[in-house]
Amino acid sequence: MISSARATKAAVTEPGLLPPTGTAAARPARQRSRHCAGAVSALPAGPGWEEAAEESRGYGGIRSTAEERGVSRGQAHRLPHLPARLRPYTPLKGAMSTVWFDRYKISNDCPEHIESIDSMCRGLTDVINDEIKNGIAKNRILIGGFSMGGGMAMHLAYRFHQDLAGVFALSSFLNKDSAVYQALKKNESVLPELFQCHGTADELVLYSWGEETNKMLKSLGVSASLHTFPNLHHELNRTEIEKLKTWIVEKLPLEAANK
């Protein structure tokens, strides 16, 4: 279970990754063959998040099993993480930081750093393709994350992998003129569903940014939900994780995999 962990100024880098929480490649081939669904997620680095990751093991952490998560064996499976990269981060005046991509500033009203975003999308595409080679159907894969991890997931799914099972974005946003919106204006196919959560007291990624992202994606054909958490800062809480767990199980039912 993940407990509430306040994001401090030390974590204002807005997110790298915690250590990997399990990789398919590390498991025996016969065990991998049982899995029929995948979910990859990104959590931010920073004070308090190591504890949060440890508490989250019941939802796919490093030592958990399907049964411990309340999910039938073979229903849920973690994709391996591709760690975010150590790179110069413009909001920190060019200081090195482990982040998914660079930003010109932490704001929704500026251009996206599309070169670094697309570089990470290529790397994550390799991870998804590896899982497909291991026998997991692409429409049984979910991607998502917290903060910048959620933004990364939206770029990856809605620009390059529109046939995934779904996307989750927790305390995340897209810029006003995002490349995601431009790509969806040309789309005519069914898009992955979006599960979104955001706290109204978030001072790093404003609630209004997440709300605007949700409205824009809906207007472009995405089936999107937004779960609002009053007085929640740039952090996760128990209720949010419970809602996410329920959504994941609904999106990846065991019955569908057995048909």
Q: For strands 85-89 and 95-99, give the pairing.
A: antiparallel
Q: How many residues does the chain have?
A: 259
Of residues 47, 44, 73, 76, the one with CA closest to residue 59? 76
Of residues 130, 98, 138, 102, the one with CA closest to residue 118? 102
Among the listed residues 147, 171, 172, 178, the single catalytic one is: 147
Whole-angstrom distance, CA of residue 101 vs CA of residue 149: 10
**Count of CB atoms situated within 10 Å of the CB of 230:** 8
Whole-angstrom distance, CA of residue 39 vs CA of residue 92: 31
Q: Is 202 part of the annotated catalytic residue set?
A: yes
Q: Is 155 part of the annotated catalytic residue set?
A: no
Handedness of CA 250, 254, 255, 259 (dihedral sign): positive
Contact 196, 203 (CB under 8 A): no
- Which residues lie closer than 8 Å to 21 by C-beta, 6 or more apart? 41, 53, 56, 57, 60, 61, 62, 78, 81
Among the listed residues 35, 56, 178, 202, the single catalytic one is: 202
Residues marked active site are found at 147, 202, 234
